[in-house]
Structure 1
């Protein structure tokens, strides 16, 4: 059995400190095999926000993977946003993301952010041809019998949550992923959890979204997903701090 904590949208700069302490305590007590964070570690991609996020991740003491979210691209420094938008994220990734090795599956990234788009709201998702090609190549290179958990920030299609992803190229990406050994697509961005099977022309793809650990709540309280992978498949348990507080 493999247990994975799926976290998203921490938003350091507007983080929920009590929720982050709760998650750190859960990790310390339960010792999951790994933690996957699907973007928006920061609020405005400030250096101090990345530094605080890195310090918290190091405290967890288990293997961690991190993906980039739209809030992790420079917000005020437009020159950096256009010339080297992922520099600060790469620092964080190098500081905390050393890869994980778990039997039977691999976490494969799919970039859904963009430095700029041909629309006013650049926070929404986009799967460009090169990003999709890189993800598919990584899946195709996996050893026989290894299945992929694809990790991205934006849901590839709408999932019925209050927040919208409006991801361009997401439908095309899901159709391509349906033709490969993909166990599920993990994401965040909308700040509410979901777990759905989305149909494509090549069959369904499971999409799993984590909520938020920030003060920017929408329909549900702060929480994360606990993923259990065993011979029976993949099970998801939604964990909310408010429920743990009530139980204690």
Structure 2
């Protein structure tokens, strides 16, 4: 468990979920998460991308219906699986967001809650100068938009950045290899961000990084899909109390709740 402080006295609970991959979702994990939301009533859900598996209209519809059924505020980042695949180049390049109607109101939605602001940061790209387009990229425009939103955050709020790809590697088996991520992390820390919440690698992590004389945390959520890697289906619980926050991994396993430890 890691703890960071900021000004303010709000008491909140956020659920950070990622990589549900409708089309390859784990029904038991989906039902478990829904039950946890219904029973524990978090103040918001931060979904950091890959809601779908192949970006089909049906997958977005099912994913959107599920997110709306939670009955709490939701912000949704776009993951690499939420853009049409390479074998549909016309749609990928010219109409990548055409099938988003079911979730349009949630995508890159800033959240303003007592004592905390969630700022979106797009890390996906339609094309890149490398073979693997699933990896992350922070464009100058995306970073500028995030920094502009940070500048308007109420003084004393904790600032969480929502992104799909980790900006730097978090010590997991899966990698993001996010281009311009390191520079973006430095700029976000300098602007006052406290944590970057992400997904993509399908395993939870919490890594403190020193930048510009400050500590900014890289926090990754697991997956609620069948595509698990080093851990069982999982999401993160972020507790905020009196201007401080802690992160717990919640897993669909006998060890249902535990702290996330950083790699040595």
Aligning the two structures, in what range does the TM-score lie when normalised by the shorter sequence?
over 0.9
> For residue 86 of structure 1, what is the aligned residue in structure 2?
97
> For residue 180 of structure 2, what is the aligned residue in structure 1?
169
Q: Which has the higher contact order (CA 8 A, sep 6+)?
A: 2
Which is richer in helix? Answer: 1
SS in 2 for 1:243: coil
Partners of 1:57 and 1:96 within 8 A in 2? no
- Corresponding pairs, count: 246
In the TM superposition, what are the counterparts of 1:87-166 in structure 2 within 5 Å? 87-89=98-100, 91-94=102-105, 100-166=111-177
Note closer, same or farther for the CA distance 1:234–1:32 as it changes in structure 2 (3 Å cut): same
> For residue 31 of structure 2, what is the aligned residue in structure 1?
21
Could you tell me which runs of 5 or more consecutive residues in structure 2 were left unpaired when the two chains were aligned: 1-10, 258-264
Separation (CA, whole Å) in 1 of partners of 2:71 and 2:121: 25
- Which of residues 208, 226, 234 is equivalent to 2:237? 226
Partners of 2:115 and 2:157 within 8 A in 1? yes
SS in 2 for 1:88: coil
> For residue 56 of structure 2, what is the aligned residue in structure 1?
46
Could you tell me which runs of 5 or more consecutive residues in structure 1 were left unpaired when the two chains were aligned: none
Aligned Cα root-mean-square deviation (Å) = 1.9
TM-score normalised by the chain length of structure 1: 0.94
Partners of 2:108 and 2:120 within 8 A in 1? no
> For residue 207 of structure 2, what is the aligned residue in structure 1?
196
Q: Deviation at 1:201?
A: 4.4
Partners of 1:73 and 1:89 within 8 A in 2? no
Separation (CA, whole Å) in 2 of partners of 1:226 and 1:24: 14
Partners of 2:60 and 2:103 within 8 A in 1? yes
TM-score normalised by the chain length of structure 2: 0.88
> For residue 212 of structure 1, what is the aligned residue in structure 2?
223
Separation (CA, whole Å) in 2 of partners of 1:146 and 1:159: 25
